[in-house]
Amino acid sequence: MKTFYWLMKREYWEHRGGLLWAPVITGAVFLILNLMAIITAEVLGSRHGAMMIGGNDFRTMIEHADAGDLANIGSAVDVAMLSSMSLIGIVMGLVVLFYCLGSLYDDRRDRSVLFWKSLPVSNTSTVLSKVVSAAVIAPVIAVFVSIICGVMQLFIYAVVLSLHGVNIWQLLTLAHPFRVIGSLLSAVPLYSLWALPAVGWLMFCSAWSRTKPFLWAMAVPVVVGLMVSWFGIMGLFNLPTAWFWTHVVQRVLLSVFPGSSIVFSDHNLSSMSDMDSNDPLSVLSPGHTYGLLATPNLWLGVVAGAALIAGAIWFRRVRDDS
Amino acid sequence: MNAVVTATGLTKRYKNTLALDDVSFRIESGRIVGLIGPNGAGKTTALKAILGLTDFRGELNVLGFDPRSQRDRLMEQVCFIADVAVLPRWIRVREAIDFVANVHPRFNRAKCEAFLARTKLTPDQRVKQMSKGMIVQLHLALVMAIDARLLVLDEPTLGLDILYRKQFYQSLLEDYFDENKTIIVTTHQVEEIEHILTDLMFIRDGKLVLDTDMDAVGERFAEVMVSADKAEAARQLKPLDERQVFGKSIFLFDGADRAVLERMGEVRRPTVSDLFVATMKGTYA
């Protein structure tokens, strides 16, 4: 256990830039852009003498809002808080993608694998420590950065609006910051499971390929997908050709992006329609997202991911090219 | 005597070359073995087999373990330095020590820090900021602080200047080596390790062509400097090698009669490099 902890620490040392600084810088850039937008709005607004949204004075709008409108304002604040997450999520997906591709290849290329292999650490723990870094540590850090970023953004809005005489406490009670935080935290375990086939495939390529793991990881599923489409192989299983693209190609390449489960999974697309349109948070609420646990798509992916990781461990042991 | 490494019929074939061809040997505890051979002779393959880094056919026992299947436990007892530049470039001195200290049960942190105190390395320095010589100092400090029974060195001083090379072997001898430890070393700079070796193995085209201890080298091989008039007589004794120096011929004999040789000229113990060159004659031809 101690060894495993230090293996994870080792991964963090090596990839501090991607795991920590990439989300932090993304969040900071996002906040700065927001501030600039607000300043621009202030400058334009001061010329008209009032805070204008869609031609209406924001303050009078709140004062005259009925319950439904207030709920909409709350949702808008929630979405504002979440918006930083989407950007950080995309960056984190890229970080995880390239982290996995390099994880078992870079040290073979620079031959430092000889140093790591001179220590009494099993290949299994080495590979698993990298899986955990990709599927758990990376999203946990990204979620915490998103939460801090979201809270700061809420704070900025509150300050700006209070300068215009809007009651910030009323505004904050309309929003659901704790629900947003809870939803984000609850998304981490689901992400870990959902991303597993992609993490497994990318790490398998990383352990297996002698050169250019990126090319192999991209080319193999895409070329196979094209062959499947071309020859209509899926017809043999009474499945449409698109099935292969959505259930294999996308799953092994794009599942590292958080939120991809909401976009790709049939389960979510179908249940999205009967969602409360006034409550955008429900897309991310655990009650909704954890429905994914009941789908074979998720669990088949987990099984495939585990098999690919086992393959990565095996190739980590036998690849002998340093 | 307990054997540290026992190999029987060790064979390794890469696609179209035979890197190790039915090699058998035995290395006892408390020895410093030089594994010497031309490029591509199979040295590194033999070391990789011992370290469990490659598959092979035949029997191999290292400290009672099979390196293929019991590698994780074996590596608690075995250290290796493969070449100079294998430390990861991003790691800092402090991180390297912390990491090894926490994953290696036989690591002695104080010993490592004491050794590093004698160098110019600082805790926050990254490997990528170091010269080759400094990287080797760090690697050696890490390895010497591990109480391992077998140390494998594969070209440990390649590309280092002579100061670092001398210091490297001196540290090994003075601060590390004792009768419970065994060192296997490969290098092309034979002259520099000649005086520290206790055993010598020559490998050529995947076969062991010489496996002996250094005392026996002196008894078995002899070098005679013969003046031109006696050269023909010396050639009759089938020398391994002949070279000319200052109008005289130097012959290298394997197992020739001392008394006969002494009548022809001055008899010396050949250097390992002369022996090596004579043994490997025609390797690249």
Please tell me which of the candidates A7, A115, A120 has its beta carbon nearest to residue B86. A115
Q: For chain B, say whether A107 makes contact (Cβ under 8 Å).
A: yes
Q: For chain B, say whether A17 makes contact (Cβ under 8 Å).
A: no
Whether residues A115 and B89 touch (CB distance < 8 A) is answered with no
pLDDT, residue B227, reads 82
pLDDT, residue A54, reads 47
Q: What is the mean pLDDT of chain B?
A: 89
Residue A217 has pLDDT above 60, yes or no: yes
Whether residues B72 and A10 touch (CB distance < 8 A) is answered with no
CA distance A1 to A121: 11
Express each pLDDT in B47-77 by its tens digit.
999 998 888 999 999 999 999 888 888 999 9
The identity of residue A305, as a single letter, is G
Express each pLDDT in A180-206 by its tens digit.
888 888 889 999 999 999 999 999 999
Decide: A174 and A70 in contact? Cβ < 8 Å: yes
pLDDT, residue A55, reads 46
In the stretch 117-136 of chain A, residues with CB closer than 8 A to chain B read: 117-122
Q: Chain A contacts of B48, Cβ < 8 Å?
A: 320
Please tell me which of the candidates A117, A120, A318 has its beta carbon nearest to residue B76. A120
Residue B176 tokens, joined = 């590390």
CA distance A299 to A293: 8
Length of chain A: 322
Whether residues A320 and B105 touch (CB distance < 8 A) is answered with no
Residue partners of A89: CB distance under 8 A and separation at least 6: A142, A146, A257, A258, A259
Query: Across residues A116-133, what is the average pLDDT?
Result: 94
Residue A71 tokens, joined = 């709920």
Query: Across residues B74-100, what is the average pLDDT?
Result: 91
Å between A248 CA and nearest CA of chain B: 34
Determine phi and psi for B51, rounding to 5 degrees: -90, 0
Q: Which has more confidence, A237 or B78?
A: B78
The superfamily in CATH containing domain B33-41+70-205 is P-loop containing nucleotide triphosphate hydrolases (3.40.50.300)
Q: Chain B contacts of A7, Cβ < 8 Å?
A: 103
Q: For chain B, say whether A320 makes contact (Cβ under 8 Å).
A: yes
Query: Across residues A18-32, what is the average pLDDT?
Result: 94
According to DSSP, the β-strands at B3-13 and B18-28 are antiparallel
pLDDT, residue A65, reads 66
Which range scores top for mean pLDDT: A239-248, B19-28, B75-84?
B19-28
* Dihedral sign, Cα of residue A285, residue A291, residue A292, residue A293: positive
Decide: A216 and A105 in contact? Cβ < 8 Å: no
Q: Chain B contacts of A111, Cβ < 8 Å?
A: 82-83, 85-86
Å between A145 CA and nearest CA of chain B: 25
Q: For chain A, say whether B73 makes contact (Cβ under 8 Å).
A: yes
Express each pLDDT in B163-181 by its tens digit.
988 989 998 888 889 888 9
Whether residues B103 and A114 touch (CB distance < 8 A) is answered with no
Please tell me which of the candidates B53, B88, B104 has its beta carbon nearest to residue A119. B104
CB atoms within 10 A of CB A295: 15
Strand ranges (DSSP E) for chain A? Answer: 52-53, 56-57
Express each pLDDT in A50-75 by its tens digit.
554 544 556 666 666 666 677 777 77
Domains of chain B, by residue range, sit at 33-41+70-205, 217-279
Residue A49 has pLDDT above 60, yes or no: no
DSSP letter assigned to residue B271: P
Å between B169 CA and nearest CA of chain A: 20
- What is the ipTM for the molecules in this complex? 0.88
pLDDT, residue B202, reads 92
Decide: A73 and A62 in contact? Cβ < 8 Å: yes
Whether residues B104 and A120 touch (CB distance < 8 A) is answered with yes
Question: pLDDT band for position A305 (50/70/90)?
Answer: very high
Q: What is the mean pLDDT of chain A?
A: 83
Query: Across residues A97-101, what is the average pLDDT?
Result: 95
Question: pLDDT band for position A321 (50/70/90)?
Answer: low
CA distance A241 to A226: 10
Strand ranges (DSSP E) for B14-96? Answer: 18-28, 32-36, 57-62, 78-82
Whether residues A14 and B90 touch (CB distance < 8 A) is answered with yes
pLDDT, residue A277, reads 52
Whether residues A3 and B102 touch (CB distance < 8 A) is answered with yes
Q: For chain A, say whether B98 makes contact (Cβ under 8 Å).
A: yes
The residue among A262, A273, A254, A253 whose CA lies nearest residue A295 is A262
Residue B229 tokens, joined = 């008039």
Q: For chain A, say whether B87 makes contact (Cβ under 8 Å).
A: yes
Domains of chain A, by residue range, sit at 2-318
Please tell me which of the candidates A14, A114, A119 has its beta carbon nearest to residue B103. A119
The residue among B38, B26, B68, B34 whose CA lies nearest residue B51 is B68
Q: For chain A, say whether B83 makes contact (Cβ under 8 Å).
A: yes
CA distance A124 to A52: 60
Express each pLDDT in B12-50 by its tens digit.
988 888 889 999 999 999 999 999 988 888 888 999 999
Number of alpha carbons in the 13 Å side-chain half-sphere of residue A106: 14
Q: Percentage of chain B with pLDDT > 90?
A: 44
Residue B134 has pLDDT above 60, yes or no: yes
Whether residues B55 and A7 touch (CB distance < 8 A) is answered with no
